[in-house]
Every structure is written in structure tokens, then in C-alpha cells.
Structure 1
Amino acid sequence: MSAGIALLAVAASLPPICADRPAKATGTCTVPAGRLQVEAGVADWSLTRIQKTRTELITLGSTVVKLGLSNHSDLQVGFTPYTKLKLSVAASRTRASGFGDLTVRYKHRLTTGDTGTQVGVIPFLKLPTAARAIGNGKLEGGVSVPVSIPASRTLSVTFGPEVDVLADADGHGRHFAVVNLVNVAGPLAPRLTLAGELWTNVNLDPSGTMKQASVDAALAYAVSDSVQTDTGANIGLTRDTPDVELYGGLSLRF
């Protein structure tokens, strides 16, 4: 068999691309062994208004690069090359921009097979590479345990419990945050998938507990088995959650 035919045979045996974007849910699927996958947010915009404070955040090119280590695990490196923050408090205006934090994740699928309930585990670390006034300059991390359950022949339900270890707001000590979500996804048309989810985050900072929640919707279109485009919107349900977030992106597997 020639090298070209062998490569075509391998490509044909690969499943369609499975990306963690769009929406906040993380899938249990991993990148095939030896393959590289890039999941990039072309642009993301969010707006938060709390009394006289208005915060606008724009990110460009937020990217996760994944390398398949085995049929059940991959290594992921995430970064944001450009973040712009606009903060308005009464008549005061503050602006900051620059590189974001770096995140390293390891995803391992604990279950086998292609049907039925699937469970994964994802430990991660956030490295403080962000520009001043964008990041907090602290090493943080956590672990998430995505669980995917088939609800019918076409619908899937994903749960995303997560525990984070975060730096205190005053810079002294650490505290926990507890994240969870429920995501329901299914096809609208061939290659077009709609997802809806409810997301919550309870940050137990000693200075005061912050509760966030949002209702999210996203669309993903499979251009081919190795290319996916997406767009989505998140609507905040609590005072501490961004009022609205809009985004679009692209995922490629090589």
C-alpha cells in the first residue's frame, strides 16, 4: 500500500471532529492519538453592568491547541493573544489590553465504547501570563468531571461539575469555587447542531460569595469531518454575571 493510500485509510477511519466549543460545556471526547486540533474563538464580546459600573471585555483569537496522547486522552494548552478591558465607574474610565493567561489541561475519558454514558476527568492549571490589570497574577487550577448521557437517538445531555482553587481577592490565601452546568444538544439539520445550557458558578471568596448564572445557546456547523464553525450567546441571570456575551469561532483537526 502506498503512503498516500495509507494516509487516506487512516483519515477515513477517524470519527467526525469533536470540539469543546461552543457553549461552556466540555465534552468527554478526546482528540485521536497523534492528531492535533485547534479550537479558536475569532472574537468574544461581553458586557456587565452593576449599578454605576460598566465593564466591557473583548477577546480576539482565544485558542486551545490539543494533542491526542491516546485514544482516551489529550493534552491541551489554551491562551488568548489579545484581551481588551474597558471599565467605567461613574465618570472614571479605565482601559487595559494585552496577552491573557495560559491554561494547561489534561483530559482523560474514563469510560470506553461509543454509546451509553461517558465520563471524563480534566485537571487544569492557569498560569499567570496575563498583562497587568487583566489577570490577577496568581497560579490557579481545578478539576472538572464532564458526564455525557444520551437522552434519545439524537439528543445528548452533558453535566459539568467542576471545583476550582482560586486566589483570594486580597491576594492572600486560596478559596474554592464550585461550577456546574447542564447542556442539552441535538441536530437541527444535517451537520448543524443546537445546544442550550444552564450554567452556575459559586465563588467562595472570603471577602464575599459571588454567585453567577447564565442561560446559553449555541450553534455548531460541521463544514467537514475535520472542520467546524460555531456561534453563541450567553445571557446573565444574576448581578455578578455578564449581562450578555456573544462569540464565534472555528475548530480544525489536522
Structure 2
Amino acid sequence: MKKIILLLIIATVTQSDAFSQTETQKKYTLFNPVPREKMRDMSTDRPDITESPNSVDAGHFQIETDLFKTTRNKSNGITSIENNYNLANLKLGLTHNTDLQLVVGTYVNSYEKDAVDKKFNTSSGFGDLTIRIKHNLWGNDGSKTAFALMPYINLPTSKENKNIEGGIVFPLSVDLGNDFGFGTQVQVDVLKSVQKSGYHAGILQSVVLGKELTKSLETFVESYYNYDFEDKKFDLSFNGGFGYSVTKNLKFDAGFNLGLTKNTDKVYFIGFSFRY
């Protein structure tokens, strides 16, 4: 944590002049879109857990979705499985440095099964809806570092959830040169308490290293942990995957999240990102 705080301070000092926008940047809005020839390179929050600090260009739309994502967890002989179909993040660029995001669980199927594969507690339908706003503080236009704030609120639109929760994400990226990129984030969650009334805190911290193998193909390795202050539970995962850019506005990806601690989820997914 101390190293990340130090990195943030260094990046703030070196990029302090990036807080001011030019008049050209200010004029582009949702209703006055950035011309297509002036758009930045597409930046996505997927496929890793670590979010990108870069926002969608003003007046443009971007979809990032898990075409299929399966989450598995085994505890005390019971296997819990959740399958997401088209778990989509719909993004809309509002200003030069800010976008609005709606994360929609289009269709979710979940169930549990015992040692003889007998299914129970089966549920299916629409998932939760998460509203996020990403505001880039610096580095949106190709600096060596970039940093953003992204508050979010999760609305219980699924059958299984009845609680409103939220939090804020602080993503940072660093261009290491030689086609290597480093990213990290700290995420603070406000979670509904189960053992008592009210809410409690959770924290997620991640680090990711990406490498551009060719102009179209990239890969990454990542690790992150979750800590729940109510349950005193610590989860650690190792992640990996790749992305393939068909065009500058269309990219497919696939990857995995493997739990390294006991009873931590194992996740496998395939998806794509498209910008218009």
C-alpha cells in the first residue's frame, strides 16, 4: 500500500499540468461529439479486474461485455455456480474527461449442486444494475501516467439481492515503455451487513502487468485481493488473459480469475468491446 501511495504522489507531481484542459478539449460534449478522426485510442475496463483510468470520448458510445462468464465456488462439498450471459458495461462519453456507465446483468442463471450433481436453489433472470461515473484527473490524452476517480452505486434489480450498495474506485495506469503497461487500483466498497443492521466496509486492491505482443494481440497477468471488514475474510486471486483487436474500435478477449485462498471464486469468461 505504501508503494502505491508513493507512486500516486510521484504521478501527481509529474502530471500536475495535465489538470488544465485546452479550449479545444472543453468544447466537446455529449451533444458536440469529438470528431472521429480526433478520437483517442480505445481504452477498456475489461478484461482484467483493474479498471482503466481513461474515459470514453465525449459524445461517443462504448459497450464492453462478457458474452459468457461462469463463476464457481466449492465449500463444504457444495458447489455454487453462477453463469452470466451478456454482462454488459454500457458507456457514454459526457465530456472530455467524464463518462457515464451502466453495468447490466442481462441474464443470470445460478444454482448449487451436491457431491452427486443434484441441483438445488436454482434461480435465473435479470441481474443487478450498477451505475458508475468515471472522471479522469490526468493522462487521458496519452501521458505516461493516468489517474481517475470512479464512484458507483449498485441497485438491487435481481431476484436474489435486496440491498443498495456502493463505493468508489481509484485506478492508476503507468506506461513502462517497450510495449509494457502497469495498472493498479484501490476500491473501497460500502456493503450491507448480514450479521447486523447497517453497512460495513470492504476493500479491493489489484496490480496488473500488460504486454502488447503485436499491434493486434495483447496479454496480461494480474493479482488482486478482497477484504471484508465484517467477515474478516481475505480472498486472493491470480488472473490472466488476452485481447485481440480486430479493428481500432472492436476487440475480443478471454481470461480467467483463479482463487488462491480457500473458498475463493474461480471465474472464466469470454467477451468483446466495441466503440461507436
| Equivalent in the alignment of 1:122 | 150
Quote the Cα distance in structure 2 between the aligned partners of 1:175 and 1:48. 23
Q: 1:15 touches 1:225 (CA, 8 Å); kept in 2?
A: no
Quote the Cα distance in structure 1 between the aligned partners of 2:120 and 2:150. 38
| Equivalent in the alignment of 2:242 | 219
Of the three residues 87, 90, 103, the one matched with 1:78 is 103
1:150 equivalenced with 2:178 (yes/no): no
**Residue aligned with 1:12, SS:** helix
In the TM superposition, 1:89-168 aligns within 5 A as: 93-112=120-139, 113-132=141-160, 135=161, 137-168=162-193
Query: How does the TM-score come out when normalised to structure 2?
Result: 0.83
Q: How far did 1:88 drift?
A: 2.8
**Residue aligned with 2:35, SS:** helix
Deviations 1:161-193 (A, max 9, x none): 010000012462100001000011111222111
Quote the Cα distance in structure 2 between the aligned partners of 1:153 and 1:188. 10
Query: How does the TM-score come out when normalised to structure 1?
Result: 0.90
Amino acid at match of 2:73: T
Q: 2:69 touches 2:85 (CA, 8 Å); kept in 1?
A: yes
**Residue aligned with 1:138, SS:** coil
**Residue aligned with 1:146, SS:** strand
Q: How far did 1:246 drift?
A: 0.8
Amino acid at match of 1:29: N
| Equivalent in the alignment of 2:36 | 11
Root mean square deviation, CA, Å:
1.6
Q: 2:111 touches 2:119 (CA, 8 Å); kept in 1?
A: no
Q: 2:109 touches 2:125 (CA, 8 Å); kept in 1?
A: yes
Of the three residues 182, 186, 190, the one matched with 2:211 is 186
Gaps of 5+ in 2: 1-33
1:37 equivalenced with 2:59 (yes/no): no
Of the three residues 217, 221, 232, the one matched with 1:209 is 232
Of the three residues 176, 180, 194, the one matched with 2:201 is 176
Q: How far did 1:213 drift?
A: 1.2
Quote the Cα distance in structure 1 between the aligned partners of 2:244 and 2:43. 12
* Number of residue pairs matched by the alignment: 240
Q: How far did 1:248 drift?
A: 0.6
Deviations 1:35-68 (A, max 9, x none): 0111111000121111212111101010111010
Q: 1:17 touches 1:228 (CA, 8 Å); kept in 2?
A: no
Quote the Cα distance in structure 1 between the aligned partners of 2:67 and 2:196. 32
Deviations 1:75-121 (A, max 9, x none): 00111111111113567722111111100000011114412221110
**Residue aligned with 1:103, SS:** strand
Gaps of 5+ in 1: 1-8
Q: 1:210 touches 1:240 (CA, 8 Å); kept in 2?
A: no
Question: Which contiguous aligned blocks of 4+ residues in structure 1 show a shift greater than 4 angstroms?
Answer: 89-92
- Percent identity between the two aligned chains: 26
Q: 1:214 touches 1:237 (CA, 8 Å); kept in 2?
A: yes
Quote the Cα distance in structure 2 between the aligned partners of 1:221 and 1:171. 46
| Equivalent in the alignment of 2:25 | none
Amino acid at match of 1:38: I
Amino acid at match of 1:150: D
| Equivalent in the alignment of 2:268 | 246
Amino acid at match of 1:26: E
1:51 equivalenced with 2:76 (yes/no): yes
Q: How far did 1:221 drift?
A: 1.0
